[in-house]
Amino acid sequence: MRKDRNRFFKDIKQQIEQPNTAGESILQLFISNFNISSDLSVTEFPHLTVKIYYFSYLINKDHYEQFLTNIRNITKEELQSFLNHSEFNVLSDMNSVEDAILSGSGILFTEKQAYELPFKEGMGRSITPSETETVILGAHDSFVESIDVNLSLIRKRVMSSQLKTIKLHVGNKAKRTVYLLYIEGVASKKDIEEIKKRILSIKNDAIVDTNMLVQFIDEHPNSPFPQFYTTERPDVISYKLFDGKVVGLMDNSPFAFCTPVSFFDFMESMDDFGQRWIVSTFIKVTRYIAILVTLLFTALYVAVTTYHYEMIPQALLPTLLESRSKVPFPPVIEALFLEFLLELLREAGARLPTKVGQTIGIVGGIVIGQAAVQAGITSNILIIVVAASAIASFVVPSYLLSASIRIVRFGFIIISGFWGNLGIIFGMGILIIHLSSLTNLNSPYLLPTSPMFPKFFKYSLIRGPFKKKAERG
Amino acid sequence: MIMQMKEKLSPFQASILIYLIQSGVTLFSLPRLVAEAFGTNGWIGLIIISFIVNINLVLIWFVFKVSKGKSMFEIISIFPKWITLPFSLFIAVVWMLLGIMVMVKFSMILKVLFYNNVSLIYFLSMGYILTYLLLKKDLYQIAKSTVVLFYFTIWTVFLLAFHLPEFSFTRLTPFIFKGETDMWKGGLSIFTALLGYELSILFVHMIERKPLRSLLVGNSITSVIYLGVTFVSFGFFSFEQLLREMYPVVTLLGYISFPILERVENFTFSVFGLKVLMTTVMYLWGTKELIQYQFKRIKSNFLVMGILIVGFSVSFIPKVIKDVDQWLTYITYSATSIAFLLPIFLLLTILSSKILNRKAANE
C-alpha cells in the first residue's frame, strides 16, 4: 500500500517536473489511467494523426456530429489554425484532462497537445415542484441535480453583480464541485472564510449529497438536531442570500445549504411570507405549540397515568379508567409500542411507491385505530394522544427538524415512565441546556432568543409586517 | 440577520441571570416569612428590603466604576495570594454550601410534599447532573441557557391570575405592620430570599453596556414577582391562615385547575426546580471562580468535578428540613455579610491603591 502510494506520488512528481509538451506522452498517461473503461469511445483521424476520446453519454451528440463534419473537411496543414479557436482549451496536464472528460467534454489529442472540446450535454431531470417542501403561496420550481441549472435558478432571482460565487472541490480522488454563494457587503467575510476552510478540509470521497456534506462540516456532529439549513427551494435560498447568509450548492444534489442559521429558520416556510403577517404569526405560534405537543403530549400521558392520577379531573376519570382497564401493560410500554408502530408506518409510507403506500395507510389505520383497542392492547385515549402528537410532528416545516424532534420524544416518553412529571422537567432541562449550547458556524442556535435580541423577534419568532427598508444586525 | 457571538453578556441576559440567581427556594415560604416579620400588610416591607438590595447593587456597580471596568480578581491581584487565600476559601465555602443547601432544601420539600417514597438520592442526582452540564461551560454559555430557562419558567408567574377571583381586599386588613412582629430577625430572613445578587460582583465587568441598569432591572424583576406573590397571598389567605401555612405558595399552586388537568402543583413545583437549579449553579460557579483564582493550575473540569463530589457528599449530612433550615440560617447570615463587606473592601482597596499610586507619582 505504502509502496503504491509512493509510486503514485513519484508519478505525479515526474508529471510536474516534465510538463507535457508532447500530446503523445499525455495520451499515454491518459490511456493508462482509463485502461479499463469500456464505455470510453474514441474517434480516430489517421490522416491528421488525431484521436478524440469522449464518453458518448456525457456529450451532446448534435454538436459532436457538427464538429466531425467540420474536421473531416480540413487538411493536416489547416488543423493547427482550426484548433487555435478560443473555444478549444489547451489542456496542459493530466488532471485537467481527467476533469474535462469526466465533466462531459471530448478530448482531442494531436501529436503534441491535448485540447478540450466543449460538448457538454445538460442532461438530467427537468425542473419540477418540490415534493418535500410544498407551498401554497409562492414559486413552485425547485432545484434539480444539475448544478448549472441550480445556479441559473438563483441568478435569475438575485440579479446583482454583488452575488459572488466561489468554486471549491471536495474530496481526494473523486472531486466534487461545491459552489459557495454570497452577496458581497451583506454576508460576513469571516463566515465565508470559515466555511471555505471547513469544506476544503474534508478528505472523504464518498459525499454524494448536500445533506451529507453538511454533516462533515458542522460543529456538533453528535447532536440529534440539524444545524445547517438545507432546502430544495431557490426562492428560500435567494431570500437567505439577501439575509446575509452563505449558501452552498453541490453538483448532483438538488439541495442547497445555508449558514449561519438558527433553530427558528427551521420553523419557517415560504408560505409565511405570502400570507398576511397576522395570519402568518398565528401559524408560526401554532408551530411552536405543535413542537411542544410532539415532544411532551405522549410523555405527559405516560406520567399522568403512571404516577399522577390525581391530576385527572373527576369528570374525565371514568372514561380514562375504562379505556385503561383492559390494557395489560404499563402505560410506558403501551405508549412506546404505539409510537414505534407509528414510526414503522411512517417509514414504510415514505419508502413505498404511492400506489402501494395507500394500502399501508389503510392497513395501518384499521390495525391501529380499531383492532388494537378491541384486542385490548392499547387504550382509546392513548391512540388520540399518539395521533395528535404524530400530526403535530408533521406541522414542523423542516423534515430534518421534525425527524429530530420525533427521536427526542422517545427520550421523553421513557424518562416520564421512570420519573413522571419530574422526569419530564429533568428532560426539558437537559434539552434546554443542549439546545442553548449548540452553534452553527459560531452563531448561537437559539438566536435571537438566547442570547436575546428582542429587535429581531419580528423576523424569526413571529412574522412581523414588512418594512420598506431592509434592516440588518 | 447576521449576528456573531459576543463573549459579553447583553444587559437583558445579565438581568435575567440576576433574577434567576435570586429567585430560589425561599419563595415558597416567603408570604409566611413576610407575615411573621412585618405582620399585617407585610408586603409593604418587601419594598423596603428590595430597596436595601438596590443600595447594595449600587455599591457593587461603584466598585466597577471606580476601578474603570476591572474584574474583582484584577483588583485583588495586588495582594499576594497567601493573604487572599483564607478570605477566598471562606467565601467559596459559604457560597458552595449556600448553593448546595438550596438544592437540598428544594429536594426535601419535593420529597415531603409529593414523592414520599422516593429516595432523596434520585432528586439530588438529577440536580447534580444538570448542574454539571451547566457548570462545565463558561459564564457566557450558562447565561445563554439561563435565558431559555427563564422563558420556560416565567409562565408560572401568570398562574397567579387563577387566584384573582378569590382575592379579597378585606383580608388585607386596614392595619399596617401589626401583630407579633420581629422586624430585625424576620427582615433578615426575608433579605436572604433576595440573596444571589451579590454574585454580580464577579461578572459585572462582563456586561456589555449599562451595567447598573441591568443589575437593578434584575433585582426589580425578582422584587415585582415576590411582591405579586406575597400580595396575592395576603389577599387570598387570611392573616392567621398565612401564619400557619408552612409553604403558602405551594398551597396557592394547589388551587390551580385546568379543564383537562387539575392539581398541577407537582408539575409546576418541579418547574420551579429549574429556577432553584440556576441558583445552585451560579453559587457553585462563584465558588469555582474563586478557587480557580487561588489555584490557577487546577484544570477547570477537575475543579468542577471536585466541587460537585464534595457538594454531593455534604448534601447528605442534614437529615430533615429543619436541619437544612438551621444550616441555611447561618450560611445566609455569612452570605449577607459577604454581600455588603466584599464590595466595601474592594472599594477601599481601589481607593487606597490609587492614593498610594498618586503619592508614588508625586515623589
pLDDT digits (tens, 9 = 90+) for B187-227: 888 898 899 999 999 999 889 888 999 999 999 999 999 99
Pair type for strands A89-91 and A114-117: antiparallel
Residues A184 and A112 in one domain: no
Question: A380-395 and A277-306 are packed helices; what angle lies between their axes, rounded to 10 degrees?
Answer: 150
Q: Which domain holds residue B53?
A: 11-344
Selected residues 429-448 of chain A with any CB under 8 Å from a CB in chain B: 429-430, 432-433, 435-437, 439, 442-444, 446-448
Tell whether omega for the bond before A260 is within 30 degrees of 0, i.e. cis.
Answer: yes
Rg (CA), chain B: 21
* Integer CA distances (angstroms), A295 to A407, A434, B50, in order: 9, 15, 39
Please tell me which residue, A285 or A87, carries the higher pLDDT value: A285
pLDDT (average), residues B78-90: 91
Q: What is the three-state SS of chain B?
A: CCCCCCCCECHHHHHHHHHHHHCCHHHHCHHHHHHHHHCCCCHHHHHHHHHHHHHHHHHHHHHHHHCCCCCHHHHHCCCCHHHHHHHHHHHHHHHHHHHHHHHHHHHHHHHHHCCCCCCHHHHHHHHHHHHHHHHCCCHHHHHHHHHHHHHHHHHHHHHHHHHHHHCCHHHHCCCCCCCCCCHHHHHHHHHHHCCCHHHHHHHHHHECCCHHHHHHHHHHHHHHHHHHHHHHHHHHCCHHHHHHCCCHHHHHHHCCECCCCECCHHHHHHHHHHHHHHHHHHHHHHHHHHHHHHCCCCCHHHHHHHHHHHHHHHCCCCCCHHHHHHHHHHHHHHHHHHHHHHHHHHHHHHHHHHHHHHHHHHC
- Give the percent of chain A with pLDDT over 70: 93
CB A304 within 8 A of CB A382: no
Residue B351 lies in a domain: no
Nearest CA of chain B to the CA of A449: how many Å?
Answer: 7
| DSSP state, residue A270 | T
CB contact under 8 A, B148 and A449: yes
**Residue B313 cell numbers, joined:** 457528599
Beta-bridged to residue B76, according to DSSP, are none
Residue A22 lies in a domain: yes
The Cα–Cα gap between B106 and A351 comes to 50
Other residues' Cβ atoms within 10 Å of the Cβ of residue A168: 17
pLDDT (average), residues A373-384: 86
Q: What is the pLDDT of residues A14-63, one digit of tens each?
A: 544 444 455 567 888 888 888 888 888 888 888 888 888 988 888 888 88
Q: For residue B3, give the chain A residue with the closest CA.
A: A473
Q: What is the pLDDT of residues A134-188, one digit of tens each?
A: 888 888 999 999 898 999 999 999 999 999 999 998 887 777 889 999 999 999 9
Which of B3, B136, B221 is the best residue to mutate to test the A interface, defined by the most A CB atoms within 10 Å of its own CB?
Answer: B3
Chain A residues within an 8 Å CB radius of B149: 429, 432
CB contact under 8 A, A451 and B13: yes
Residues A282 and A250 in one domain: no
Residue B238 lies in a domain: yes
Residues A428 and A338 in one domain: yes
Q: What is the pLDDT of residues B185-198, one digit of tens each?
A: 888 888 988 999 99
User: Which is nearest to A120 in space by CA: A253, A21, A26, A251?
Assistant: A251
Other residues' Cβ atoms within 10 Å of the Cβ of residue B172: 16
CB contact under 8 A, A421 and B270: yes
Residue A86 lies in a domain: yes
Question: B183-193 and B321-362 are packed helices; what angle lies between their axes, rounded to 10 degrees?
Answer: 80
Residue A467's pLDDT band, with cuts at 50, 70 and 90, is confident
Residue B5 lies in a domain: no
Residue A128 lies in a domain: no
Selected residues 290-319 of chain A with any CB under 8 Å from a CB in chain B: 304, 308, 310-313, 316
pLDDT (average), residues B349-363: 87
Residue A50 lies in a domain: yes
Query: What pLDDT does residue A332 have?
Result: 95
What backbone torsions phi and psi does residue A89 show, to the nearest 5 degrees? -80, 145
Q: For residue B7, give the chain A residue with the closest CA.
A: A451
Pair type for strands A256-259 and A229-231: antiparallel
Q: Which of A117, A138, A173 is the last residue of a domain?
A: A117
Distance in Å from the first CA to the final CA of chain B: 56
Query: What pLDDT does residue A298 have?
Result: 95
Selected residues 252-281 of chain A with any CB under 8 Å from a CB in chain B: 260
Chain A residues within an 8 Å CB radius of B147: 436, 449-452
Residues A354 and A432 in one domain: yes
Beta-bridged to residue A54, according to DSSP, are A41
Residue A212 lies in a domain: yes
Residues A167 and A289 in one domain: no
- CB hemisphere CA count around B222 (13 angstroms): 35
Query: What pLDDT does residue B187 have?
Result: 87
Q: Which domain holds residue A60?
A: 2-117
Q: What is the pLDDT of residues A281-325, one digit of tens each?
A: 999 999 999 999 999 999 999 999 999 888 888 888 898 888 888
Which helix (H) or strand (E) element contains residue A333?
helix A331-351
Query: What pLDDT does residue B5 have?
Result: 43
The Cα–Cα gap between B16 and B222 comes to 9
Q: For residue A435, give the chain B residue with the closest CA.
A: B145
Residues A243 and A154 in one domain: yes
Residue A241's pLDDT band, with cuts at 50, 70 and 90, is very high
pLDDT (average), residues B181-185: 81
Residues A257 and A302 in one domain: no
**What letter represents residue B88's amino acid?**
S
Structural domain count of chain B: 1
Nearest CA of chain B to the CA of A447: how many Å?
Answer: 8
Tell whether omega for the bond before A46 is within 30 degrees of 0, i.e. cis.
Answer: no
Query: What pLDDT does residue A1 have?
Result: 46
Which helix (H) or strand (E) element contains residue A256?
strand A256-259
Q: For residue A426, give the chain B residue with the closest CA.
A: B126
The Cα–Cα gap between A29 and A98 comes to 11
Chain B residues within an 8 Å CB radius of A430: 129-130, 133
- CB hemisphere CA count around A151 (13 angstroms): 18
Residue A206 has pLDDT above 50, yes or no: yes
Residue A251 lies in a domain: yes
What backbone torsions phi and psi does residue B319 show, to the nearest 5 degrees? -95, -40
What backbone torsions phi and psi does residue B356 show, to the nearest 5 degrees? -60, -45
Residues A255 and A288 in one domain: no
Query: What pLDDT does residue A19 have?
Result: 47
The Cα–Cα gap between B195 and B84 comes to 24
Q: For residue B271, give the chain A residue with the closest CA.
A: A425
CB contact under 8 A, B262 and A435: no
Residue B359 lies in a domain: no
pLDDT (average), residues A424-437: 94
CB B91 within 8 A of CB B290: yes
Residues A294 and A397 in one domain: yes
Selected residues 127-186 of chain B with any CB under 8 Å from a CB in chain A: 129-130, 133-134, 137, 141, 143-145, 147-149, 151-152
Residue B216 lies in a domain: yes
pLDDT (average), residues A223-232: 94
Q: How many residues does chain B have?
A: 363
pLDDT (average), residues B284-296: 93
Selected residues 180-219 of chain A with any CB under 8 Å from a CB in chain B: 187-188, 190-191
Residue A448 lies in a domain: yes
Residue B337 lies in a domain: yes
Structural domain count of chain A: 3
Residue B153 lies in a domain: yes
Residue B3 has pLDDT above 70, yes or no: no
Cβ-Cβ contacts under 8 Å for B154 (sequence gap 6 or more): none
Q: What ipTM was assigned to the predicted interfaces of this complex?
A: 0.91
pLDDT (average), residues A80-104: 82
Residue A98 lies in a domain: yes
User: Which is nearest to A126 in space by CA: A104, A110, A141, A107?
Assistant: A141
CB pairs under 8 A between A and B: 123
pLDDT (average), residues B72-78: 89
Q: A427 at the B interface (CB within 8 A)?
A: no
Lowest mean pLDDT segment, chosen from A119-133, A178-192, B95-109, B215-229: A119-133
pLDDT (average), residues A353-368: 78
Please tell me which residue, B6 or A250, carries the higher pLDDT value: A250
| DSSP state, residue A264 | G
Q: B126 at the A interface (CB within 8 A)?
A: yes
- CATH code where residue B116 lies: 1.20.1740.10
Query: What pLDDT does residue A284 have?
Result: 93
**Three-state DSSP state, A250:** strand
**Residue B199 cell numbers, joined:** 454574585
Lowest mean pLDDT segment, chosen from A14-28, A335-349, B140-154: A14-28
The Cα–Cα gap between A350 and A325 comes to 35
- Give the percent of chain B with pLDDT over 90: 53
Q: Which of A190, A313, A449 sits opposite B262 (nearest CB)?
A: A313
Chain A residues within an 8 Å CB radius of B267: 308, 311, 421, 424-425
Q: Which of A117, A134, A161 is the last residue of a domain?
A: A117
Q: What is the mean pLDDT of chain A?
A: 86
Q: A459 at the B interface (CB within 8 A)?
A: yes
Q: For residue A451, give the chain B residue with the closest CA.
A: B144
Distance in Å from the first CA to the final CA of chain A: 53
Nearest CA of chain B to the CA of A317: how many Å?
Answer: 10
Query: What pLDDT does residue A431 have?
Result: 95
Chain B residues within an 8 Å CB radius of A191: 2
Q: Model-level pTM?
A: 0.88
pLDDT (average), residues B41-60: 91
Residues A300 and A324 in one domain: yes
User: Which is nearest to B311 in space by CA: B273, B281, B269, B336?
Assistant: B281
Residues A255 and A320 in one domain: no
String of DSSP letters for A83-151: HTSTTSEEE-SHHHHHHHHHTT-EEEE-SS-EEEE--B---SPPP---SSS--SSS------S-HHHHH
Q: Which of A188, A421, A460 sits opposite B4 (nearest CB)?
A: A188
Q: Which of A419, A433, A451 sits opposite B10 (nearest CB)?
A: A451
Residues A208 and A237 in one domain: yes
**What letter represents residue A397's amino acid?**
P
Lowest mean pLDDT segment, chosen from A2-6, A214-218, A462-466: A2-6
Residue B56 lies in a domain: yes
Q: B255 at the A interface (CB within 8 A)?
A: no
Nearest CA of chain A to the CA of B273: how many Å?
Answer: 8
CB B250 within 8 A of CB B28: yes
